[in-house]
Amino acid sequence: MKITKITAVPISFRIPEGGNVTLGIGRAVKRDAVLVRVDTDEGITGWGEAHHGRCPGAIAKLIDTTLADIVVGMDAGDIVGVWSRVYRMQLASHGLGSGSAMALSGLDIALWDIKGKALGQPLYRILGGAPRPSPAYAGGISLGWQDSASLAEEALRYVAQGYRALKLRVGDSPARDIPRVRAVREAVGDDIAIMVDANTGYTLGDVRRVMPLYEELAVEWLEEPFPPHDLRDYREARALGTVPLAAGENHVMRYDFMQMLEEGAITVPQPDVSKTGGLTETLRIAALVSTVKMNCNPHTSLTSINMAASIHLLCAIDNPGYYEGDCAPHNPFRDRVGGTVGTLDANGCVWPTQGPGLGLEIDEEFIAAHPLIDGPCYV
């Protein structure tokens, strides 16, 4: 089965005024995604999602030109061969680094979707797994910088939906972050896990101030206090307390994660299948971190394609962690691109889709109705 065509589809939607969430990377004003469609000579079509990298037009152009020229005509079932060819010709030399990894991610997910459809099996089966429950936390672009009372109310809504874990956005300032986290802890009680995500907004001094309070409030992890390359600060921050440090959504390829492990600071790895090189590379990362007894907690991106792929991944590895449930109040791409995934069961867990491949029915009319909107997604 040969790859005959690769098409990138960048899509966007404006967030309605009043529904904007503010977090460490800015105030969300629109949502972007880059979908990847792969056609074959046997009529089987696969879909993947490449992270937009805050420049969806550039990622889409890279897929439509460079990656398509490299890959069209290859065997669609030779996923590792396709991955290796793109790596050798685009990433290993003077390619675009993380941009190329994002583009490759969408292509790779689409090829796994094709393989599952060709074999008539759900993706978790193709990856060697079985249908298993994955504990989920309420995340996505939600629980942002707001007054403590309204944040606690939002947290209680997610608990009422069945979530047994929540991720709060910090990185504002220690003086404002700590009361917010305390208010949520008091509202939800001690039985709900709380994680916090600084979106690279802290300094080492900030971590020194918040760490004792996060320990007191039983915070499960502190995510991305610093930029991904700032491993020195991660190493120093680990010595400031017992709250684990999490990162990985902005690390790409297993080589970044190997360096992370060698530094010994980050103990909650969070690869994103739409950023780090697709399912092929994320499986390698999961195996890598399992050698030091760490769980793999995939960061989720924007649409149901990434979300479904992440759940299938968790069912196919021996060190699964949390699934990040997208609780953004306005995200039709979560629910309309391929159908809703990640519905919670009574225990706050999600299960994989059962159809072949990713198990999604892609709504191409809906996609066509949401063309790319130029401009930043956070301001």
Is 377 within the bounds of a domain? Answer: no
Please state the domain count of the chain: 2
Residues 161 and 31 in one domain: no
Residues 183 and 66 in one domain: no
Burial classification of residue 242, based on how many CB atoms lie within 10 Å of its CB (0-12 exposed, 13-18 middle, 19 or more buried): exposed
Domain hosting 266: range is: 125-350
Tokens of 9: 């589809």
Could you report the per-residue pLDDT of 85-103, keeping only the tens digit for each?
999 998 888 777 899 999 9
Is 379 within the bounds of a domain? Answer: no
Could you report the per-residue pLDDT of 127-184, keeping only the tens digit for each?
999 999 999 999 999 999 999 999 999 999 999 999 999 999 999 999 999 999 999 9
Nearest to 197 by CA among 165, 149, 229: 165
Is 356 within the bounds of a domain? Answer: no
Could you report the per-residue pLDDT of 255-308, keeping only the tens digit for each?
999 999 999 999 999 999 999 999 999 999 999 999 999 999 999 989 999 999
Is 34 within the bounds of a domain? Answer: yes
Report the CATH number that the domain containing residue 90 is assigned in CATH. Answer: 3.30.390.10
Is 359 within the bounds of a domain? Answer: no
Per DSSP (E only), the strands in 15-132 are: 22-23, 26-27, 30-40, 45-50
Mean pLDDT, range 59-82, rounded to an integer: 97
Residues 51 and 150 in one domain: no
Is residue 337 pLDDT above 90, yes or no? yes
Residues 130 and 107 in one domain: no
Residues 131 and 237 in one domain: yes
Q: Could you say which DSSP state residue 371 is in?
A: B
Angstrom distance (rounded) from CA 30 to CA 12: 7
